[in-house]
Amino acid sequence: MNEQAIQKAKEQFGRIIEEQLARIERLKKAEDWVDYSQIKPVIVGILGGDGIGPYIAKESKRALEFILKDEIAGGKVKIKDIEGLTIENRAAKMKPIPDDVLEEIKTCHVTLKGPTTTPRKGDPWPNIESANVAMRKVLDLFANVRPVKVPNLGIDWIFFRENTEDMYMLGSNGIEVTDDMAVDFKVITNQGSERIIRAAFEYARKNKRKRVTIVTKANVIKTTDGKFLKVGQQIAKEYPGIECDDWYIDIMTAKLLDPKRRTDFQVAVLPNLYGDILTDEAAELQGGVGTAGSANIGKRYSMFEAIHGSAPRMVTEGRAQYADPCSMIRAAAMLVRHIGYPEKAEKLEMALEICGQFEKKLVITGRSSGATGEDYTNYLMETVKDAKLRDRWISYQKTAVAA
Ligand code: IPM
Ligand code: MG
């Protein structure tokens, strides 16, 4: 009996290795970065998702249309809705992204995506792969960029989470060897590590950040994390003006809570799973996962999303209109910057900061005790409209530094 199980597991392992080696060959032929300034119109797809997704997507789309009003009117940017990335449709088609939805996504240059329910073992839904993870893989969105900024605490971090490898790559392809034993796989490649680490250093160089921190558990997970760290240390040599240090994920998790040390961190680069966990912790310091945005960047396509889940309970309890759209609006701001309008992105980000961290004229609690997503988005847009937006933002920054 065990003989047969072992044989079957070996064969599955063999197929996995072949597929991964083929993927490396594709990575070696990597294409150039798309140049949005050469494209007219840049097509932005809006994917509502499920749970609270359609509610916060509606507000985010409003914010996006507001900030890009002139570009849309001038035919430089076109926004379109893409239906069907719902858990019901994905379950009916038994696909993480139904084929027709994927075709639609590929007609867009970038997408703004609401959260999508990820079924797990024991859920009423079939055990299909996460739509996020599938989209990151099929569109090769290798850089998951997650900024976290808390001026009052002196925190200004940006995380570069590898998005296509590590425990996630084969997260739905583990082997149930016997009833008693299951095996999952962690895959790290030179090519996959190099491109994310380079993206982190390039960001640091362009944005005058002085330090890049590589986060692994290379003391224990020696082969794969060891590879990530080694690639990182080699690339660091190409950037002599930028200090590079490395931390283990456990102590890094602790140090993000240490007021004396955490303000030293600037840019962090890390494998997929550690990045998933650490960015939730970081976002919590900013006011919760509802406040953080996330960019999934590839050379050809990019997708921007909220970092939190679809909160189906808020919908069943009739509270969806109180869901916080800020995470997705922050993602919209990242999208605006990515397609070439940094000043407009900055306006939206300043408004998010003023409203969410300083002024707090409206507060979202997720319940009727707080503002609705719609009212909050109106508050943000009013703030963006203010001719003195920047002065207002600067004066708040000063009070934060003084505090
Ligand atoms: C995230 C989310 C996803 C992930 C889930 C929904 C699959 O937690 O974007 O961080 O684990 O990557
Ligand atoms: Mg996560």
Q: How far is the CA of 295 from the centre of ligand 1 (A)?
A: 12
Does the beta carbon of 129 lie inside 6 Å of ligand 1? no
Residue 5, in any domain of the structure: no
DSSP H stretches of helix in 68-217: 69-73, 87-93, 99-106, 131-138, 166-169, 190-206
Ligand 1 atom nearest the C-alpha of 133 is 7
Does the beta carbon of 307 lie inside 6 Å of ligand 1? yes
Ligand 1 atom nearest the C-alpha of 294 is 9
Residue 47, in any domain of the structure: yes
Does the beta carbon of 172 lie inside 6 Å of ligand 1? no
Q: How far is the CA of 336 from the centre of ligand 1 (A)?
A: 22
pLDDT at 306: 86
Ligand 1 atom nearest the C-alpha of 272 is 12
The residues, ordered by sequence, that sit 6+ positions from 220 with a Cβ below 8 Å of its Cβ are none
For the beta carbon of residue 26, count every other beta carbon within 10 angstroms.
10
The span from the CA of 214 to the CA of 259, in Å, is 20
pLDDT at 127: 84
Residue 97, in any domain of the structure: yes
Ligand nearest to the CA of 281: 2
The residues, ordered by sequence, that sit 6+ positions from 260 with a Cβ below 8 Å of its Cβ are none
Q: What digits encode the pLDDT tens for the residues 322-349?
A: 999 999 999 999 999 999 999 999 999 9
pLDDT at 400: 77
Q: What digits encode the pLDDT tens for the residues 266-315?
A: 999 999 999 999 999 999 998 888 788 899 999 999 999 987 889 999 99
pLDDT at 398: 85
Among 159-163, 213-217, 395-399, the least confident range: 395-399
Ligand 1 atom nearest the C-alpha of 144 is 9
- For ligand 1, atom 4: residue with the closest CA: 276
Is pLDDT of 30 > 80? Answer: no
Closest by Cα among 24, 1, 14 to 175: 14
Amino acid at 13: F
How many domains, in total, are found in the chain?
Answer: 1
- pLDDT over 90, % of the chain: 88
Residue 42, in any domain of the structure: yes
Residue 79, in any domain of the structure: yes
Does the beta carbon of 116 lie inside 6 Å of ligand 1? no
Ligand 1 atom nearest the C-alpha of 280 is 10
pLDDT at 321: 98
Residue 195, in any domain of the structure: no
Best probe residue, ligand 1, of 116, 117, 130 (max atoms within 8 Å of C-beta) = 130
Residue 381, in any domain of the structure: yes
Range of the domain at 352: 31-141+298-402
pLDDT at 171: 86
Tokens of 1: 């009996």
Q: How far is the CA of 280 from the centre of ligand 2 (A)?
A: 6
Residue 153, in any domain of the structure: no
Q: How far is the CA of 164 from the centre of ligand 2 (A)?
A: 14
Q: CATH number of the domain that 81 lies in?
A: 3.40.718.10
Q: What digits encode the pLDDT tens for the residues 153-212?
A: 999 999 999 999 999 988 888 999 999 999 999 999 999 999 999 999 999 999 999 999
Residues constituting the chain = 403
Best probe residue, ligand 1, of 116, 118, 278 (max atoms within 8 Å of C-beta) = 118
Does the beta carbon of 283 lie inside 6 Å of ligand 1? no
Closest by Cα among 139, 82, 77 to 302: 139
Does the beta carbon of 166 lie inside 6 Å of ligand 1? no
pLDDT at 193: 98
Ligand 1 atom nearest the C-alpha of 163 is 12
Q: What digits encode the pLDDT tens for the residues 87-134?
A: 999 999 999 999 999 999 999 999 999 999 988 777 888 888 889 989
Is pLDDT of 152 > 90? Answer: no
Q: How far is the CA of 78 from the centre of ligand 1 (A)?
A: 28
- For ligand 1, atom 7: residue with the closest CA: 130
Is pLDDT of 318 > 80? Answer: yes
Does the beta carbon of 303 lie inside 6 Å of ligand 1? no
Ligand nearest to the CA of 305: 1
Confidence of residue 31 (pLDDT cuts 50, 70, 90): confident
Amino acid at 17: I
pLDDT at 169: 86
Does the beta carbon of 60 lie inside 6 Å of ligand 1? no
Confidence of residue 402 (pLDDT cuts 50, 70, 90): low
Is pLDDT of 34 > 80? Answer: yes
Does the beta carbon of 272 lie inside 6 Å of ligand 1? no
Does the beta carbon of 144 lie inside 6 Å of ligand 1? no
250-284 as b/e, with b when 16 or more CB fall inside 10 Å?
eebbeebeeeeebeebbbbbbbbbbbbebbeebbe
Q: What digits encode the pLDDT tens for the residues 349-368?
A: 999 999 998 999 999 999 99
Is pLDDT of 403 > 70? Answer: no
Tokens of 344: 């407009």
